[in-house]
């Protein structure tokens, strides 16, 4: 390499390193909390498809009927039936539907039809100034991890990691959704079902495991690990200082879980946390043909050195019965009993 080119290359590396160091040192301040209005029966929910397309007519119809059964009127996004490859329309169309729902004063909240992939492609196309001016309920999970975290990080709006409209709306999920975003009164306490033994001597399903006991308070942030880690280094990355992190995933080999947790660690997120809640890691198994660490070992490696409360097994993730969690709200976790308690309402 010629001397001038080598010098230029070396200077570029140094500048890049300085920028990265500066970015880590100058974390974006925690946004001022912004709450959506509490949802009520009779409100209109906007139904959008910011991730995967829905290829048949029936899943959309079932989603509409489920939201109606919850007591809502439903307004379909202009492109909710769209398709571009695997996505529910082009990037511009999917982002436009979300922006239009925030702009529509007759729409009380917005919920995703399904997850999948594609939200990262539109996260920089949302009108965050509009969202800040007209805050309203926004919810979904899985690939929606990208948008629920970015909207909170950019605007301060508490968003919701909750069932998508096309989810299985069973009694458990409905009760937790209503308690979090519709009902008034006592603040919700999220804790796995207790004593469900079935034909067994002891409870075998939905147990919690305490990795490190204790209580911790902080702003609740997180979601799907694969999607969350893909935001590292972007302008949509959180200030993690004092946060309570929650994570879940599905269909990832254990070595990929390890790699993604390493991304969180290297991005400076883990060493700033107040506590950790691990949900369900569904079908996250060893890859074919390789020796592997177990999930127990991976979680121990990354979370025990933090010396903060950590528990595993919360009803979060790609499972039938799931919590609704307020992203950005202040919570207290108890890792000994496995609970997440709100410290303030997540809606006004």
Give, as one character, the DSSP assignment of residue 214.
Answer: -
Q: Distance between alpha carbon 239 and the CA centroid of its chain, in Å?
A: 15
Please report which confidence band the pLDDT of residue 237 belongs to, taking 50, 70 and 90 as the band edges. very high
Please report which confidence band the pLDDT of residue 30 belongs to, taking 50, 70 and 90 as the band edges. low
Whole-number pLDDT of residue 291: 67
Tell me: the pLDDT tens digits for 215-225? 999 999 999 99
Higher pLDDT, 237 or 287: 237
CB neighbours of residue 61 within 10 Å: 10
134: phi then psi, degrees, rounded to nearest 5 = -130, 70
Whole-number pLDDT of residue 9: 35
Distance, in Å, from the CA atom of 56 to the CA atom of 124, rounded to the nearest integer, reads: 29
Tell me: the pLDDT tens digits for 139-195? 999 999 999 999 999 999 999 999 999 999 999 999 999 999 999 999 999 999 998
Domain architecture of the chain: domains with CATH: 44-169 (3.40.50.10740), 189-342 (3.50.30.60)
- Active-site residues, by number, are 142, 248, 318
pLDDT over 70 (residue 83): yes
Helix 295-303 with 254-266: angle, nearest 10 deg: 10
Distance, in Å, from the CA atom of 319 to the CA atom of 48, rounded to the nearest integer, reads: 22
pLDDT over 90 (residue 263): yes
Mean pLDDT over each residue of the chain, to the nearest integer: 92
Q: What is the mean pLDDT of residues 14-18?
A: 41
Please report which confidence band the pLDDT of residue 290 belongs to, taking 50, 70 and 90 as the band edges. low
The residues facing 311 across adjacent strands are 210, 277
Whole-number pLDDT of residue 144: 98
10 contacts: CB under 8 Å, gap ≥ 6: none
Q: Percent of the chain at pLDDT above 90?
A: 88
Angle (CA) 295-300-304 rounded to 5° is 155
Decide: helix, strand or coil at residue 290. Answer: coil
Whole-number pLDDT of residue 32: 84
Whole-number pLDDT of residue 14: 41
């Amino acid at each position: 390499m010629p001397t001038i080119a080598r010098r230029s290359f070396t200077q570029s590396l140094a500048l890049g390193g300085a920028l990265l160091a500066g970015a880590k040192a100058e974390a974006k301040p925690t946004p001022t909390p912004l709450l959506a209005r509490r949802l009520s029966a009779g409100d209109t929910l906007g139904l959008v498809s910011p991730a995967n397309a829905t290829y048949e007519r029936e899943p959309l119809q079932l989603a509409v009927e489920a939201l109606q059964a919850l007591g809502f009127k439903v307004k379909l996004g202009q492109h909710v039936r769209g398709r571009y490859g695997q996505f529910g329309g082009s990037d511009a169309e999917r982002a436009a539907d979300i922006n239009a729902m925030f702009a529509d004063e007759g729409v009380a909240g917005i919920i995703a039809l399904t997850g999948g992939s594609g939200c990262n492609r539109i996260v920089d196309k949302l009108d965050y100034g509009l969202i800040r001016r007209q805050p309203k309920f926004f919810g979904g999970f899985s690939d929606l991890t990208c948008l629920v975290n970015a909207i909170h990080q950019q605007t301060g709006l508490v968003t919701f990691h909750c069932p998508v409209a096309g989810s299985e709306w069973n009694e458990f999920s409905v009760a937790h959704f209503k308690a979090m975003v519709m009902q008034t009164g006592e603040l919700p306490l999220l804790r796995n079902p207790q004593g469900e033994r079935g034909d067994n001597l002891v409870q075998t399903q939905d147990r919690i495991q305490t990795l490190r006991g204790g209580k911790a308070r902080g702003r609740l942030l997180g979601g799907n690990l694969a999607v969350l880690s893909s935001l590292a280094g972007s302008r949509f990355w959180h200030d993690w200082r004092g946060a309570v992190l929650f994570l879940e995933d599905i269909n990832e080999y254990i070595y990929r879980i390890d790699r993604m947790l390493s991304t969180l660690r290297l991005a400076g997120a883990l060493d700033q946390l107040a506590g950790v809640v691990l949900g369900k890691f569904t079908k996250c198994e060893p890859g074919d043909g390789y020796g592997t660490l177990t999930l127990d070992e991976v979680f121990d490696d990354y979370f025990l050195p933090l010396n903060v409360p950590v528990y595993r097994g919360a009803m979060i993730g790609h499972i039938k019965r799931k919590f609704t969690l307020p992203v950005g709200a202040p919570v207290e976790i108890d890792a000994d009993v496995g609970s997440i308690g709100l410290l303030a309402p997540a809606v006004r």
